[in-house]
Amino acid sequence: MPTLRRRTLLCGALASALPCAWAQGYPDRTIRLVVPFAAGGGFDAIVRPFAEKLSAVLGQAVIVDNRPGAGGAIGTDFVTRAVPDGYTLLFANSSIVTQPLLQKKTTYDPATDLVAVSRVGAVSTGLAVNPKLPANNLAELIELSKRRPLNFGTPGTGTAPHLVGELLNLNGTMRLVHVPYKGTGPAMADAVSGQIDMVMAPVSATAQLVRSGKLRGIAVLSPARSSLMPELPTFLESGLPDVQGETWYGVFAPARVPAAVIRRLNEAAGQVLAQPEFMVALRKAGYEPQFSTSAALAETVRADQQRWARVVREAKLQIE
């Protein structure tokens, strides 16, 4: 067996007990940061500034490698199969949890085939309605939905907004009918025109329409209020603590990457997120900067798996 291969396997086996000596010099070459979606999309505004800052902190090039396909499964699977040496990483969002629940052909489990490094940011989901709808707050909207089902638009089947809507249905909180769209723009356009009653979409996308009066903001589905629209209450404040639907973004590595490497990457991510100019850039792009420990992100993955698995199962959701 080649020497490098033996060392890699040895580190993977002993990482939890004794960091390998070679990991102490990490990194000493270029790091590949895989994004499981196409370039030019929403990921660019967060991953490219992060990669640039991470490169400066680590002293090595960090290149963004877009590997789209199958709702993110192709790029994610590529990382799970990479050599666990810390030089191939994944930059993903919360869809890495939901896609395996929705797609039968997905081959990875994010809780066991990946190791969490750090959260980087999140996008708050906002609930907004057509201004003609007779509901000015969440309580009135809930009451209205019990008199007649409300149509709600989302960026697509299986997205965080869709799953939140299904959760509201299953909990008996509201009566909703899902209308999936191919992206946020068409969903918001139909909400403005009155083709649908309400829309669940990123706050960064709905904020301007709410401020112009074309939509009426009701609430945000994140644990805390959004800095983009701090006037909107959370579902938690409205007495619905289990209804959360923010889209988080974070860094992962293949399982068995040495613990010393994970600690170094987490430390570096913390240094990036502590830079004021990076935080300002993310907020301007509609993201909330969020740093976390590796353990905290891993717990988020496990909690999301449990919550959304029930929703997918009971709502009988599936994407072919």
Could you give the percent of the chain with pLDDT greater than 90? 69
- Look at residue 241 in the predicted model and tell me its pLDDT: 66
- 244-270 residue pLDDT tens: 778 899 999 999 999 999 999 999 999
Q: Does the domain made of 125-220 have the CATH classification 3.20.170.30?
A: no
CATH of domain 3-13+21-123+247-314: 3.40.190.150
Distance of CA 127 to the CA centre of its chain: 17
Confidence of residue 23 (pLDDT cuts 50, 70, 90): low
Common-topology check for domains 3-13+21-123+247-314 and 125-220: yes
Mean pLDDT of 187-199: 96
User: What's the chain's length in residues?
Assistant: 320
Confidence of residue 124 (pLDDT cuts 50, 70, 90): confident
- 40-69 residue pLDDT tens: 877 899 999 999 999 999 999 999 999 999
**Structure token pair of residue 305:** 């798996």
Domain ranges within the chain, ordered by starting residue:
3-13+21-123+247-314, 125-220
Residue pointed to by tokens 């006037």: 231
- Look at residue 153 in the predicted model and tell me its pLDDT: 95
- The amino acid that residue 254 corresponds to is P
Residue 320 DSSP SS3: coil
Distances (CA, A) of 57 to 62, 170, 175, 258, 309: 10, 46, 49, 20, 38
What is the enclosing helix (H) or strand (E) of 288?
A: strand 288-289
In contact, 248 and 290? CB cutoff 8 Å? yes
- Look at residue 9 in the predicted model and tell me its pLDDT: 44
β pairing state of 62-66 and 31-35 = parallel
- The amino acid that residue 74 corresponds to is I
Mean pLDDT of 75-83: 97
Mean pLDDT of 225-251: 86
| Sign of the CA dihedral with 248 first, then 162, 42, and 74 last | positive
> Is 32 a residue whose pLDDT tops 50?
yes
In contact, 186 and 100? CB cutoff 8 Å? no
Helix, strand, coil percentages (3-state) for the chain, rounded to 5, are 40, 20, 40
